[in-house]
Amino acid sequence: MPRYRPIDVAHWAPLEAGAYFAGEPLSIGTGTHLLGHGGLVEDRRGVVRRVTPPERTGPVLEPELSWEHQKAFGPTVLADERSGRLRMWYGTLPPLRGHPGSLIIPPYLLLYAESDDGIAWQKPLLDLIPDGEHRRTNILYRGAHDNCSAFSVVMDRADPDPSRRYKMLHKGGKDPSGRSGEELALSPDGLRWRPYDGNPVMPQRHDCNLNLLFDTGRGTWTAYLRPYAFGSGIWPGRSKVHHRRRVAIAESRDLIEWSKVRTVLAPAEGDRNEFDSIAIFPHGSTLVGLLAAFEEDDLHEQRMRIEIAFSTDGHRWERTPGAEPFLRPTGHAGDFDRDSVGVATAGLDPVPAAPGDPAARDRLLFYTGSRWERGQIDGRTAIGALRIRRDRFVEQHAAGEGWLLTRELSLDGSELQVNCRAAGELRAEIAEYPGQALPGFALTDCDPITGDHVSRTVTWGGSPDLARLRGRPVYIRFHLRSAGIWAFHVTQGRQKTA
């Protein structure tokens, strides 16, 4: 089994695309570029987008302790700075009471686990927060006002104060004046938490899993959450008809002063979907958003599936055609994820033992699965893992012959690699505006690629060298015959292909 390290889900540098529509090429640098969305695609013909389903690996953390109340959900995963051991923060809550439209929701708790491999997790019993007769538990935090839900834990190495090394934004409870909102908590080690003195840092509780993302270029935090402005004007809890859930953002430079909340992704007109929450994964030049979506008829039973959306700036999002699910509940009796699947902003990348290590091609993404009887408002929830081949979220597929042309971009590397599967063949061409092939880099010069590869180097006449095109505005044209492509990589020529 490969060794894993946490995916950095909290830091990202978006493409500088502002000058593109003024005539400048996209400066994409080196790295990975997904092709399952329109942000990097100029034109295509004879290809269709297909969601690539992940492989489920079963529950990896189940609720077994009395204070977990048959629920474990919403993990964040980071690595210990000294040992590299994996650390997980996850949530639970006692049983719900009431009925749909008039639920009594008890306080949520923050819990903790550790692992060496990301599959087998241990729950250390700590002398921090007791639960009834149990003096030692893995409970870390109840919140300043008896609630810690919808949390996002990040490590802030830039803060000079070591007592603020770990930071957490979460939905809080009501203070003595009756106010509630998003609260900030601070910790030196991720175990011992204290509330920020100026809470709440946002005036409303936004009632969904939070997602924190730091733009390294702008020096700005973005929180993905749910907005509180909606068409009916009726506040949640005052009507059996829930407002329509959607995805919004707020921005901050310090996690304390936040902008107003603005919607960035909503159901389309005529669409019965609603979006409970989103988990965001920086993936090269693209943000991959896993959307927890459900139908209007399932609002109160929370029977959700997971869809995919993409963005190159974090503001404009593109869903997959037809809202094809990435993951559905299994519907099979006995499965922990029989009735509902939810998103989590946590995942692991394999550490290659050597360049080109085939065991290092799959990443693990965590999710939440639930099982309960129809008509119930409560059930059992556990944390599962999905195995996904690197970059393979959405494929551009040609059943026969197809073409895909990227937007004009500036090549900053010396080699081009592709993530593809070709029963027939795939070729690539380097062209310049308005689309003519460069000598030596035409489709007819390209050595055909066949088979299944996550990072196959493209060659023209046996040579992969693109160094003489460095900094030159070009297009990449892919020609596919019974083939599909997920992504391309621009490298400096030192990586072994697989």
pLDDT digits (tens, 9 = 90+) for 35-53: 999 999 999 999 999 999 9
Distance CA 333, CA 214 (A): 41
Low-confidence ranges of the chain (pLDDT < 70): 1-2, 96-105, 233-243, 295-302, 353-360, 374-378, 494-498
What pLDDT is recorded for position 98?
57
What pLDDT is recorded for position 56?
95
Residue intervals in the chain for CATH 2.115.10.20: 55-391
Q: Which CATH class is domain 25-51+395-491?
A: mainly beta
What pLDDT is recorded for position 451?
98
What pLDDT is recorded for position 204?
79
What pLDDT is recorded for position 420?
98
What pLDDT is recorded for position 207?
73
What pLDDT is recorded for position 271?
80
Of all residues in the chain, the percent with pLDDT exceeding 90 is 69
What pLDDT is recorded for position 312?
93
Residue intervals in the chain for CATH 2.60.120: 25-51+395-491
What pLDDT is recorded for position 422?
98
What pLDDT is recorded for position 32?
93
Architecture per CATH, domain 55-391, reads as: 5 Propeller (2.115)
What pLDDT is recorded for position 416?
97
What pLDDT is recorded for position 149?
92
pTM: 0.93
What pLDDT is recorded for position 235?
56
